[in-house]
Chains A and B, each alone.
Chain A
Amino acid sequence: MTKLRTTLGALLAGSFLATAGMAADGAQDGKSVIFLGADDICEYCAVYNDQIRKMAADKGINLEVVTNKFDAAQQATQVDQAIAKKPDAILMWTIDGTALFPAMRKVQRAGIPLLLIDVQPDQAREDLWVQYSGGNYEERGSKAAQLMVQALDAKGMEKTGGVIMITGMVGQAQTISMTKGFTETLAKLAPEMEILGAQPGNWDTGTSTQAAAGLFTKYGDQIKGVYAAEDIMMQGVLIAAERAGLDPTQMAMIGDGCEPVGIKNIKAGLQYGTVLQSPVDEATFAVQSMVDLFTGAEMPKSVYVPHPMVTAENVDEVCQPWPTK
């Protein structure tokens, strides 16, 4: 039986590559692209950067990777730097969708094609870029809410009571979108459930442990579900729950990312589910976006990687181990 992940991949490749096939094959050879990435220390970012370097090299694209520490102001100056080097295209992992608009306008004025990944800015300004390819953060938050309701059903629990959230960094576009997606969908699917509290986990296990510990102390038995916007933050929640003497199997614990620690916790029954965000898929889409640009293929403004919901039933099929160097 064909695995779900393989099917997804085939579907993606089929739809996304179909347009490229019609265009000038190999036109991307030797083209120079500056990739204004995010961090290269976070695990996801490191895998992403490594994959995109390899995939771009395989396609003959000279990809220069520039990173920052999730700093929008620094990325804005990196755009100035990139424009000075006159590349054939700029690929940008938008640290902050709104803050980079002025920088995107500079790229447009310089006549350099701009491709975006990871964070999709307000589509009202989509004249500034050729294509966005990558994830949909609001959809991921929404899927997490669906998983939470599914988990409550699976555990035979009523859809009433409280939920706590461990979010990403306050103010980041990703955090805002994921929180919006989660809270709006939960309000629709389980209107009697209440968000008791939310604390930033800053995409970090240690911070999330402290944040969850405070919320567990304050709300204790009122908590029926926890949404952590990343699996490594859910790991912190599980540590805090254990210290607080709470049983995570009696709560709906939902993470995000299909990260190695999330897979482990799902298999151990400590976490009910997660939502797929694959650095390999996203890098594949970004490279295809570059190839399409140079081969003159038709390019829709937005191309999204799929975010299937993952539970113990399909974790092995959907969540693949992240490649190592």
Chain B
Amino acid sequence: MTLLKHIAENPLLALRWLLLLAMGTLFTLANAYFLAPGNLYALGETFALLGLVALGLALTMLAGEFDLSGGAMVAVAGLIMLKCGTESALFGLLAALGFGALVGLFNGLVTLKLNVSSLVTTLGVMILLSGFAVWLEGGQAVSFANYDLTDAFNMDWFAVLSPRSTLTIALFVATGLMLAFTRMGRDIIAAGSHRKAATMAGANVPGAIITSFVLSGLFAALAGALLAITLGRASSTFGANLLLQAASAAILGGVALSGGVGRPFGVAIGVLVLAVLNNGLGLIGASSPAILLLNGAVLLIAVLAGGAPAAWLRARLA
């Protein structure tokens, strides 16, 4: 009964665990290679790219805002990384991260100071970034000749982890700790829960909103820079499909569109659900339409389960 009550209180939490478990079991039964180290490594790579963008987006959602510019930032940051990193990869990485943080700061300031909806602000920035990426690319293939670094980022640890996936996991943990144990973390959640009450209670709401946008820009830029290093190539087309997937992962992970609800751990599970679904379907040779349909179905189930069915379950168990 306690378990049922817990499930009723957190229907999405239960559902995403159930989905993850069910999919893992099904794909393992359908294809013995699902649990092969190489496949788990591939799963980690998908988690690393999508996870960083979803984590950043989730932070802005937690603060009651929304950052649409993450996907386009992946493309731009990759291009900056390779364009500025020809002599020093570290300089390229810092340039990409600095640009990501600056764009995040701009998003936050415009949203706050001009009192513009973050959806509108970041939509404009997304379009600007897409154009900037095409300009940076200049109609040429932008590639990276530092194969030693590329190889280093493509190495495996314990057969299943890559530097990228390890770093992403570490950032999920660090963000979780920041939200749980720092004042800024609590302010971000408060800003998204009830902004007026949070302000009256002394929370640094403007600081929280700007911090969430800066972190979102940073995480997306890091995802783009790491992708560029891993592939040895950057392109204005990279990241084009990431935003919708990131939003899906955040919602699946229990982050409320209204703000204030959700945690990085849940987002990680949301990302894993999508990563496992796409990985498993690819492994069993499902067609693109089937993969798209199932992605939509999973999101729909998760969202619907958080509404009337969850309320019904709560009422029955009250």
Contact B38 A84 (CB under 8 A): yes
Instruction: Give B289's nearest chain A residue, CB to CB.
Output: A41
- Does A316 make an interface contact (CB < 8 A)? no
Among residues of A, the one whose C-beta sits closest to the C-beta of B283 is A81
A172 within 8 A of B: yes
Interface string of B45-67 (1 = CB under 8 A from A): 11001000000000000000000
Q: Is A282 part of the binding interface, using a Cβ–Cβ cutoff of 8 Å?
A: no
Chain B residues whose C-beta falls within 8 Å of the C-beta of A172 in the assembled complex = 235, 237
In the bound complex, how far is the Cα of B236 from the Cα of A77, in angstroms?
19
Asked if B134 is an interface residue, CB under 8 A from chain A, the answer is: yes
Give, as a whole number of angstroms, the nearest-CB distance from A28 to chain B: 20
Other-chain contact of B233, A39, A83, A96 (Cβ < 8 Å): A96
**Cβ–Cβ contact A65 & B235, under 8 A:** no
Instruction: Judge whether A81 and B42 touch: CB under 8 Å.
Output: yes
User: CB-CB < 8 A to B230: which residues of A?
Assistant: 76, 102
Given contacts A40-B287, A66-B285, A73-B227, contact A80 B39 (CB under 8 A): yes
A18 within 8 A of B: no
> What residues on A are CB-neighbors of B258 within 8 Å?
none
Task: Identify the interface centre among A65, A99, A172: most chain B CB within 10 Å of its CB.
Answer: A99
Known: A66-B285, A80-B41, A84-B36. A170 touches B231 (CB 8 A): no
Q: How many residues of B contact A (CB 8 A)?
A: 39
Expressed in whole angstroms, the minimum distance between the Cβ of B77 and any Cβ of chain A is 13
A176: which B residues are within 8 A, CB to CB?
139-141
| Chain B stretch 193-232: residues in CB contact (< 8 A) with chain A | 227, 230-232
Question: Which residues of chain A come closer than 8 Å to B235, judged between CB atoms?
Answer: 72, 96, 99, 171-172
CB of B241 closer than 8 Å to a CB of A: yes
A88 at the interface (CB under 8 A from B): no
List A residues 161-176 near B (Cβ within 8 Å).
169-173, 176
- Decide if B88 is an interface residue (CB 8 Å cutoff): no
Contact of A59 with B by CB under 8 A: no
Given known pairs A84-B42, A102-B150, the reply for A170 and B287 (CB within 8 Å) is no
Q: Is B238 in the interface zone, CB < 8 Å from A?
A: yes
The listed residue with most B CB atoms (<10 A of its CB), out of A96, A98, A171, is: A171
Q: Which residue of B lies closest to A75 (CB)?
A: B231
Known: A69-B288, A73-B227, A83-B38. A105 touches B279 (CB 8 A): no
- B296 touches A (CB below 8 Å): no
A103 contact set on B, CB distance < 8 A: 231
Task: Answer whether residue B166 sits at the interface, using C-beta atoms and an 8 A cutoff.
Answer: no
